[in-house]
Amino acid sequence: MNPRELCFAPAHVQAARLRSRELSPVELMRATLERIEAINPRLNAFVSMRPTEELLADARAVEARFTRREDAGPLAGLPLGVKDLEDTVGLPNTHGSLVFKDHRPRRDTIQVERLKRAGAIVIGKTNTPEFGYTCMTTNRVFGTTRNPWSLERTPGGSSGGSSAAIAGGLVALATASDGGGSVRIPASYTGLVGLKPTQGRIPWGPDDTLRASHCIVSGPLSRTVEEAALWLDVTIGEHPLDPYSLPHPGYSYRDVIRTAPKPLRIAYSPTLGYASVQKQVRREVEAALRALEGAGHRVEQIDEKFPDVALEWSCLMGAEDFGVLAHDIDDESLLDPGYLPGRDMARQATHVTIADIQRLRARLLRQLADVFARCDLLATPTTSTVAFAAEGPMPFFVDGEPVTSPGGGVAFTYIFNFSGNPAISLRAGMDDEGLPVGLQLVAPRLREDVLLQVARQYEQLRPWAGVWPAL
């Protein structure tokens, strides 16, 4: 395996080569650190790293376990990036904010703890916008992260550092989270698989304050569907510190995807009744759906008009975020100006405002229940456009026409955080400039199995896994 093949090899392929002793954990760690040293200055994906000698010592420890023929875990020896919104021992967690630039957590999140238990080696933190609040990744602590496909473009947000690291061949594994599209938007802009599971599928926290919005989840960003299934297999299952966490479903998602799905009814909504979409994005999404039709699924365009919940979702998330963070913010001048509108919206929210938001949410759930009574999956573009400029602004014009949704160019994702449905972004194709386009598939709650089955089938029909930026 040549160096480029190694750095873009999927996580499950790297793990198999490590277990078979064809590849040494030390060799993989050295190759990873060399790649980061060479490429990261252009991407700014990683913003802090553990010392090299510590990482090599961890790799040697895994190699020793292999030598003793011990089961070191399904991710044994794989380098892991952790999003800089997520706690992990030994590294800062700045939340992309000057407020927390010196914060060093004393514990791992449940997700990181489980990934480490599966054998992954945390190597560093990946960049994020302040508090994960925007769909591009730039902040006043570490600066701007860039898209490996085009350095002038954003890799998305808020998991932009992780998406740039994976799509740029720095690591095969990096954590991500999604409160309004923060897994799926970066997946769309960088050509990755991005899964937002049902809330509770991967336990959240532990946090000092329980989240009540029921919008934010952890989920995998990966180069292939099998990696996403593997990620779920090692991170899911209830935890006593997350009262909303779900029991283990009782099966392996890697086993599930080995069976092709039955013929499905797929409802296709090109706009959800309110969003804009570039002609080239729509072209690639519809080509992807034709491939699924060729596999025996029935795709039918629907004219359903869904509510655009951009303002209600923003208010709910802003009220929660500002409530959680308010005790830590002594000097508001340290906050990025882009965060302030959300703070102001949160301050104006009353109990009546929140009740009205939850009333709208209940209506949306009834509407989606009716849709899923008639179909198995809902398909949309993941984003309105391909990746925009690295430092913004977010697109408010599409093909020369003004965007009417307050959600701008990312109006397809937050609605499914609001509803709680699992959703996945897959690479639909490429635009005329060679930038990735995303297809979003949405399922009823708890049906990640169906999403991953059809995603794996699609991946076999349209294999993008070997097509990555040259850098």
Residue 248 carries which DSSP code? P
Helix, strand, coil: what percent of the chain each, to 5? 40, 15, 45
Check: CB of residue 128 under 8 Å from CB of residue 160.
Answer: yes
What is the rounded CA–CA span in Å between residue 163 and residue 166?
A: 5
Whether 371 has a pLDDT exceeding 90, the answer reads: yes
DSSP 254-285: HHHTTSPPPP-EEEE-SSTTT----HHHHHHH
Identify whether 279 is a catalytic site residue.
no
What is the rounded CA–CA span in Å between residue 200 and residue 253?
A: 16
Identify whether 182 is a catalytic site residue.
yes
**Token digits of residue 355:** 């009740």
Classified as helix, coil or strand, 230 is: helix
Q: What is the pLDDT of residue 338?
A: 75
What is the rounded CA–CA span in Å between residue 283 and residue 172?
A: 29
Q: Which helix (H) or strand (E) holds 460?
A: helix 448-461
What is the rounded CA–CA span in Å between residue 114 and residue 234?
A: 6
Identify whether 213 is a catalytic site residue.
no
Mean pLDDT of 98-117: 97
Strand partners, 439: 381, 426
What is the rounded CA–CA span in Å between residue 412 and residue 383?
A: 6
pLDDT digits (tens, 9 = 90+) for 283-342: 999 999 999 999 999 999 999 999 999 999 999 998 888 888 878 888 888 888 877 777
Q: What is the pLDDT of residue 340?
A: 75
Sheet holding 173-174, edge to edge: 46-49, 121-126, 79-83, 173-174
Classified as helix, coil or strand, 293 is: helix
The residue type found at 432 is D
Task: List the CATH code of the domain at 3-461.
Answer: 3.90.1300.10
Check: CB of residue 451 under 8 Å from CB of residue 197.
Answer: no
CB-based burial of residue 7 (10 Å sphere; 0-12 exposed, 13-18 middle, 19+ buried)? Answer: buried
Q: What is the pLDDT of residue 362?
A: 98
Which of 158, 163, 218, 314 is the catalytic position? 158
Q: Which residue spans within 128-220 are E strands per DSSP?
A: 138-139, 143-144, 173-174, 177-178, 193-196, 217-218
CB-based burial of residue 23 (10 Å sphere; 0-12 exposed, 13-18 middle, 19+ buried)? Answer: buried
CB atoms within 10 A of CB 340: 11
Whether 50 has a pLDDT exceeding 80, the answer reads: yes
pLDDT digits (tens, 9 = 90+) for 148-193: 999 999 999 999 999 999 999 999 999 999 999 999 999 999 999 9
**Token digits of residue 392:** 């913004």
Mean pLDDT of 246-253: 98
Mean pLDDT of 117-145: 97
pLDDT digits (tens, 9 = 90+) for 409-444: 999 999 999 999 999 999 999 999 999 999 999 999
**Res. 465 pLDDT band, cuts 50 70 90:** low
* Inter-CA distances, 421 with 134, 154, 170, 424, Å: 21, 26, 31, 10
Q: What is the pLDDT of residue 324?
A: 84
What is the rounded CA–CA span in Å between residue 21 and residue 19?
A: 5
The residue type found at 337 is P
Q: What is the pLDDT of residue 336?
A: 85
Check: CB of residue 322 under 8 Å from CB of residue 332.
Answer: no
Mean pLDDT of 371-394: 98
Nearest one of 154, 27, 41 to 471, comparing CA atoms:
41
Q: What is the pLDDT of residue 471?
A: 85
User: What integer best gives the mean pLDDT of the chain?
Assistant: 96
pLDDT digits (tens, 9 = 90+) for 23-38: 999 999 999 999 999 9
Strand partners, 300: 267
Angle, alpha carbons 449-292-309 (nearest 5°):
65
Whether 125 has a pLDDT exceeding 80, the answer reads: yes
Angle, alpha carbons 67-72-78 (nearest 5°):
100
Which of 24, 150, 182, 245 is the catalytic position? 182
The pTM (predicted TM-score) of the whole model is 0.98
What is the rounded CA–CA span in Å between residue 213 and residue 346?
A: 13
Residue with tokens 């890697």: 254
The residue type found at 192 is L
Sign of CA dihedral 20, 34, 221, 315: positive
